[in-house]
Structure 1
Amino acid sequence: KTKAASFALRLFTTPMKGFIKKEQIKFLDSAFQEEFEYDSIPIITYRWPGNNKTVLLAHGWESNSARWEKLVHQLKAKHYNIIALDAPAHGNSGSRRFTAILYSEFINVVTQRFQPEIIVGHSVGGMATMFAFEKYKYDHVEKLVLLGSPSEFHEILHRYTKMLHINKRVYKSLELLIQERFNKLPAEFSTAKSSSSINVDGLIIHDQTDPIIPYSDALEINKHLKKSKLITTQNLGHSLNDETVFDHVEAFLSQ
């Protein structure tokens, strides 16, 4: 059972996509690229300089910094200083495995370096941002934007194991394996719980029919994040890579 659990965890932490495609290179090459490190793992960042506030962008699972192209163009027009980072095992960053905890440490390294006033996270990028914020308590961050972000880690794990038809005993072993590695049970990793200790303005955008992360996750986070506003979209799916979404983001940043 432990062998099966180890295999399941390895699969769960290994992205199959997220590599940079040919057509994305040109956009990423328009940025200043800089490398940092966490625990000897390379973190690749992209910077489009501006004299407005600094915005950090954290992409989601099986994606990379090129997913922000539309938003970057929009924010550049308003002269924001924009930084994006590639997550562990994604884009040009290092590591063969991905976890939201490791991602939160990447986000922290980049946050300490660039001191952004605003952080925008898509999907697990939002979750990792909240984990970093809860742990490191940034006093320079004024606003947070969560796009299609998950609330409860154990629910993601549960959906994943259901998809793989993993039985209850293996699931139990998997939970214990995670506890062994991270000193917490899956149920303790929660964006909503992390949110309750955070006191900055938040914008949550989630699609009502998101097929990957249920809309109820947004309601849960919104309940815990003290100064948050929830915007619900229709038929934009999980990616939310849409002008109407980015118009909401831009309006929120300029408030």
Structure 2
Amino acid sequence: MFINIVSLFSKKLGARLALFLFTRPLKGRINEEQSDFLGTSFREELLVNGTPVMTYRWLGKGKTILLAHGWESNSARWQYLIEPLKKLNYNIIALDAPAHGRSGSSRFNALLYAEFIQGVAKKFKPDIIIGHSVGGMASAFSQSNPENSNLKKLILIGSPSEFTDVLKRYFKMMGYSKRTKNAIIALIKKRFNVETISFSTAKQLELLNLEGLIIHDEKDDVIPYHDAILINKSLKNSKLITTSGLGHSMNDESISNHIYEFLEN
């Protein structure tokens, strides 16, 4: 492993290279088919801390829903859900994450994504946020801002709970040495001035007074089902729906039906 070799000579350089790979998506830009669908929306680019954030709106007279996609994806992934929600007259907003879709930045992390969500929420004041995967984690982190106090419901689909576990899975996948892993953790602490254990969806949700719906597949091979259990226990007024065989993407009509039922109650 090249980065492990680099770390033998310079832990700091090895950690920077590893973190660069971890925060730089290889997919998620919009293709022609996705562009056609997103072209049915009202597009508006916002600036959040100087970085452009692309938003897409399908106008309705009902409650406002904000959609936050996951890693190496973009707002078009919500097409299966947006079309039915339009018929129910919801006011729908989706945003592209940092370094995804048509949004700016060359790097991605959940805290930066949370800032994007905060900026969009400040302008459009959603009643409901739906987040998939790390979009769910970022949605939870975004609630540290009291300006988002109008939020009533939060739906998390296949979302991770503990960032430390995300890191462990990344380390294992990449085959990093103990020296490299320790250097990465030290670099994250230095950059964000906080321990990695502090990045927790479950802990973030403990004090929030929201209605929550957690949907997770028991065979999810990207984010373990155990994460959903942790989140469900922390968000007091929440319901956990367990699926089987839908994997991590969860693009299925049955998921939509669970969401509609939750929204209408």
TM-score (norm. length: structure 1): 0.99
Counterpart CA distance in 2 for 1:185 and 1:169 is 18
Deviation at 1:75, TM superposition (A): 0.3
Aligned to 2:220, the other structure's residue is in SS state coil
Deviation at 1:79, TM superposition (A): 0.3
Please say if residues 18 and 63 of structure 1, whose CA atoms lie closer than 8 Å, have aligned partners that are also in contact.
yes
Partner of 1:16: 26
Deviation at 1:35, TM superposition (A): 0.5
Is 1:226 paired with 2:224? no
Is 1:195 paired with 2:224? no
Deviation at 1:68, TM superposition (A): 0.2
Partner of 1:169: 179
Deviation at 1:169, TM superposition (A): 1.4
Counterpart pick for 1:150 among 160, 166, 169? 160
Tell me which stretches of 4 or more aligned residues in structure 1 moved more than 3 Å: none
Aligned to 2:148, the other structure's residue is in SS state coil
Partner of 1:76: 86
Counterpart pick for 1:110 among 120, 140, 146? 120
Partner of 1:185: 195
Partner of 2:7: none
Partner of 2:12: 2
Deviation at 1:135, TM superposition (A): 3.7
Aligned to 1:45, the other structure's residue is in SS state strand
Partner of 2:102: 92
> Aligned AA for 2:32?
K
State the number of aligned residues.
Answer: 255
Counterpart pick for 2:76 among 58, 61, 66? 66
> Aligned AA for 1:2?
K
Partner of 1:44: 54
Please say if residues 118 and 148 of structure 2, whose CA atoms lie closer than 8 Å, have aligned partners that are also in contact.
no
Please say if residues 134 and 197 of structure 1, whose CA atoms lie closer than 8 Å, have aligned partners that are also in contact.
no
Counterpart CA distance in 2 for 1:135 and 1:2 is 33
Any stretches of 5+ residues in structure 1 without a counterpart? none
Partner of 1:130: 140
Deviation at 1:138, TM superposition (A): 2.4
CA deviations on 1:153-174 (whole Å, 9 max, x unpaired) are 0111111111111111111111
Counterpart CA distance in 1 for 2:190 and 2:263 is 40
Counterpart CA distance in 1 for 2:250 and 2:244 is 10
CA deviations on 1:161-212 (whole Å, 9 max, x unpaired) are 1111111111111111001111112111000000101111000000000010
CA deviations on 1:130-171 (whole Å, 9 max, x unpaired) are 001134362211100000000000111111111111111111
> Aligned AA for 1:57?
L
Partner of 2:37: 27
Counterpart CA distance in 2 for 1:169 and 1:238 is 31
Counterpart pick for 1:205 among 215, 228, 234? 215
Counterpart pick for 1:159 among 166, 169, 181? 169
Counterpart CA distance in 1 for 2:181 and 2:46 is 36
Deviation at 1:51, TM superposition (A): 0.2
Please say if residues 60 and 121 of structure 1, whose CA atoms lie closer than 8 Å, have aligned partners that are also in contact.
yes
Aligned to 1:134, the other structure's residue is in SS state coil
Identity %: 55
> Aligned AA for 2:152?
E
> Aligned AA for 1:253?
L
Counterpart CA distance in 1 for 2:207 and 2:194 is 18
TM-score (norm. length: structure 2): 0.95
RMSD value over aligned CA atoms? 0.8
Deviation at 1:76, TM superposition (A): 0.3
Please say if residues 70 and 132 of structure 2, whose CA atoms lie closer than 8 Å, have aligned partners that are also in contact.
yes
